[in-house]
Amino acid sequence: ATIPMSQQARLSGSNTFLGNPVDVDYNYETGEIFVAERANGGGRVLAFNFPSGSGNPSPIYNQTFAGASAVHLNVYNVY
């Protein structure tokens, strides 16, 4: 199914560290979106607060992780 543009939030720009996001997961308990980013710095895991709109936010979590290709969450850990 296609999500209408009016219901999408797009994060982009230099503050985001996004270049080639390859996987995402959402933490329903905290409202955070975790992203496996492959291109920037050899790989990173990033997290953002759930956006209220599109923009260029800085991540609330930014950890280098060589070759990051997936992210899987449970309540306490990022894999």
pLDDT tens per residue across span 67-77: 999 998 876 66
Is 6 a domain residue? no
Is 32 a domain residue? yes
Distance of alpha carbon 57 from the chain centroid: 11
pLDDT tens per residue across span 8-67: 889 999 999 999 999 999 998 889 999 999 998 899 999 999 988 899 999 999 999 999
Give the pTM. Answer: 0.85
* pLDDT for 78 beyond 80: no
Is 38 a domain residue? yes
Which residue matches tokens 């607060």?
49
Is 54 a domain residue? yes
Q: What is the dihedral of CA 4, 5, 6, 12, to 10 degrees?
A: 140
The amino acid sitting at 74 is N
Q: How far apart are CA 38 and CA 11, in angstroms?
A: 16
- The whole-number pLDDT of residue 15 equals 96
User: On the CB side of 39, how many CA atoms lie within 13 Å of its CA?
Assistant: 7
Is 10 a domain residue? no
Q: Which domain holds residue 60?
A: 16-79
